[in-house]
Structure 1
Amino acid sequence: MNGVNALKNNAQKAARLSVAPMMDWTDRHCRYLHRLLSQRTLLYTEMVTAPALVRGGALHLLEFSPQEHPVALQLGGSDPRELAQAARLGAQAGYDEVNLNCGCPSDRVQSGTFGAVLMKDPAQVADCVAAMREAVDVEVTVKCRIGVDDQDPEQVLPEFLQAIQAAGCERVTIHARKAWLQGLSPKENRDIPPLDYDLVHRMKAAFPEMHVSINGGIASLKQAQAQLEAGLDGVMIGRAAYHQPTDILAEADALIFGDGAAADPIEVVHKMVPYVERHLANGGRLHQITRHMLGLFAGRPGARAWRRALSEGAVHDGAGPEVMLQALDSIAPLAEV
Structure 2
Amino acid sequence: MSSGVTQTVPMPGKPYPTVGLGTFTIFEKTGYGDEVCNAVKVAISEGYRHVDCAYVYGNEKAVGDGIKAKIDDGTITRNDIYITTKLWDTHHNPDHVEGALKKSLRDLQTDYVDLYLVHWPFAFKDGDDLFPKDTDGNVVFADHDYVDTWKAMEKLVGAGLTKAIGISNFNKKQIERVLEVATVKPTNIQIEIHPYFLNEKLVAFCKQNGMTVTAYAPLANPSRTWKSADEPIVFDEQVLKDIASKKGKSIAQVVLRFHLQRGIVVIPKSITPARIKENLQLYDFDLSESEMQLIAGLNRDLRFYQEGIASSHKYYAFHDEY
TM-score w.r.t. length of structure 1? 0.43
TM-score w.r.t. length of structure 2? 0.45
Point out which structure has higher relative CO (alpha carbons under 8 A, 6+ apart): 2
